Amino acid sequence: MIKYNLICSHGHDFDIWFSKSADYDVQAPKGLINCPYCGDSRVEKAIMAPNISTSRKKEKMALQSQDMAGKAMATVDRAAQKLRDEIERNCEDVGDKFADEARAIHYGESEQRAIYGKATAKDARDLREEGIEAVALPDAIAPKKDKLN
């Protein structure tokens, strides 16, 4: 048995056991692996931390990775901020009506435009079943309602 740490396209991570590593490679592209939280079949392997053996090496690595993580976070923050601004500028906030509005646009009952808003995992699943693609935004990118400006 081999354990994989997987992540779905909505960012849920979970562990799953396979009898051999080739099983993942066969099942994942066919969409046979589903996220236990939202049922998403678009899953991929999560990034694993390296397993360091000696404690001194461990300390050094911890410091290095802290430093790298800090730098990476700053970069991610800037990128997220930019992306968030883009979304706010170019998309209309439809709030809780996201699923209804996405449907209305898809079926031509509403004007074609980019929107964002809140949807439950069930909404997202229902939309996908109707062939409407919705992307879940990570918190860092989701536009903030309570902005101070």
Closer CB to Zn ion, 20 or 45, in the complex: 45
Binding of Zn ion at residue 106 (CB under 5 A)? Answer: no
Residue with tokens 């404690």: 55
Please report whether residue 35 would count as binding Zn ion according to CB under 5 A.
yes
Of 9 and 65, the one with the shorter C-beta distance to Zn ion is: 9
Complex with Zn ion: residue 12 or 106, whichever CB lies closer: 12
Positions 44 through 73 that interact with Zn ion (CB under 5 A): none
Which token pair is 38?
């939202």
Q: Tell me, letter by letter, the H, E, C secondary structure of the chain.
A: CEEEEEEECCCCEEEEEECCHHHHHHHCCCCCCCCCCCCCCCEEECCCCCCCCCHHHHHHHHHHHHHHHHHHHHHHHHHHHHHHHHHHHHCEEEECCHHHHHHHHHCCCCCCCCEEECCCHHHHHHHHHCCCCCCCCCCCCCCCCCCCC
Q: Does 136 bind Zn ion (CB under 5 A)?
A: no
Name the DSSP letter for residue 17: E
- Cβ distance to Zn ion smaller for residue 16 or 38: 38
Total binding residues toward Zn ion, as defined by CB under 5 A? 7
12 binds Zn ion (CB under 5 A): yes
141 binds Zn ion per the rule CB under 5 A: no
33 binds Zn ion (CB under 5 A): no
Query: By C-beta, is 12 or 97 nearer to Zn ion?
Result: 12
The yes or no reply on residue 38 touching Zn ion (CB under 5 A) is yes
Residue ranges binding Zn ion (CB under 5 A): 8, 10, 12, 35, 37-38, 40
